[in-house]
Amino acid sequence: MFDGKEWVTSPEAFPLSAELVEKITALGNAALAFQRACNELYLAGVEGEKYAWVTALLDQGKPQNMIQLGREKRWEDALPRVIRPDLILSETGVSIAELDSLPGGMGLTGWLNRTYASLGERVIGGAEGMIEGFSKAYPGHDFLISRESAGYQPEMEWLAAELNQLEGGERQVLNPWEVEPHELGGRDLYRFFELWDLDNVEHSAALLNMARQGELSFTPPLKAYLEEKLWLALFWSPALKRWWEEKLAPQHLSLLQECIPQGWVFDPVELPLHAEWPDLHVHSWQELKKFGNKERELVLKISGFAETAWGSRGVSIGHDLSGAEWSDAIDDALARFPQNPHVLQRFTRAKVIAHPMWNEVEAEPTMMQGRVRLCPYYFVNGDQATLSGVLATIVPADKKILHGMRDAILAPCKYP
């Protein structure tokens, strides 16, 4: 499924409680409503002064052509059609670490769901949920995969083959270095490349111009501002409290408040003498350097438009660093503003669970103590985001960053 990557196998799907399944299912429409409100907020800042500061913040560090691309009237209302939050499983529920609209793992989760379902497991989304969900959300779309994303090409080829079998179609997995722009005319393309990486995507200028002219279409939409972690901090901005209350239904707002950890834009702006950063009780970010280990249960992350903004890169966990290392991380984040804005968030402590893994040496299952990241996949049709599968990544309990690695279990999730 992945080029050159391995994971640990489990003989069982990962069980979720009925209450948690209900919450994760509801989170899909809440996340969709949040993305729509984010899109409206950015464009409101383009049109008027009241929210111009939001738009300016999200445009920082981006070339002018990328900014203009995101503002094209042709796709003004377009939103991603797949949403995948990274959820940390905690003692009290789940915490959103990231909202990814260009996720890997779709083919893998589809294959895992089908495989474990064939063994009698009641997997969330069902045996064919991922394939059918993609089919409805992206009818007839081909895949365009860059060099930077080539590690995911095997799973995309598997997904394309399954879609062709389901639909009787001829979807293709394409690479930009193997095609000429005119060959892509008239196609709908699922872009599997990051917008910050366009300089390394062959024919990108010609392809983007064709998209502007309506000669082909890309999804997710070409909106770099939607692919920023800054939104998770802006959700907690006192200046935007009224916006979120007006744009989000009460049940969506309440669920997002429960699941999005408190966060701040790590802006080096100098505050007035009488002011402080909300709930941190500091007047200057420099005061964070004096925090003790318990107070440093905070995470610094680069926001989005940078090569270190995906995976586990660009992340500093305060209480996992020495005082000197934490001080350096703060200085680095402040120095990189505004080119690469960072966000500061409360750290969510993942609970420790036990789940069986297949022990290759002993040739039998053994129990593994681990911490869990859940990745639900929602496919969007109209105003509905349908949960089609959930991938669990279970890492050894001593790991702080919950990400795929050779000693992590990858398994689908199932009903209780």
Q: Closest Cα to residue 113, out of 80, 162, 65? A: 162
Type of residue found at 172 = Q
Task: Classify the C-alpha dihedral 400-404-409-413 as positive or negative.
Answer: positive
pTM (2 decimals)?
0.95
Q: Please report, in tens digits, the pLDDT of each residue of the chain (416 residues total).
A: 888 788 999 999 999 999 999 999 999 999 999 999 999 999 999 999 999 999 999 999 999 999 999 999 999 999 999 999 999 999 999 999 999 989 999 999 999 999 999 999 999 999 999 999 999 999 999 999 999 999 899 999 999 999 999 999 999 999 999 999 999 999 999 999 999 889 899 999 999 999 999 999 999 999 999 999 999 999 999 999 999 999 999 999 999 999 999 999 999 999 999 999 999 999 999 999 999 999 999 999 999 787 655 556 679 999 999 999 999 999 999 999 999 999 999 999 999 999 999 988 888 999 999 999 999 999 999 899 999 999 999 999 987 666 667 889 999 999 99
- CB neighbour list of residue 357: distance below 8 Å, 6 or more residues apart: 8, 9, 10, 365, 366, 367, 368, 409
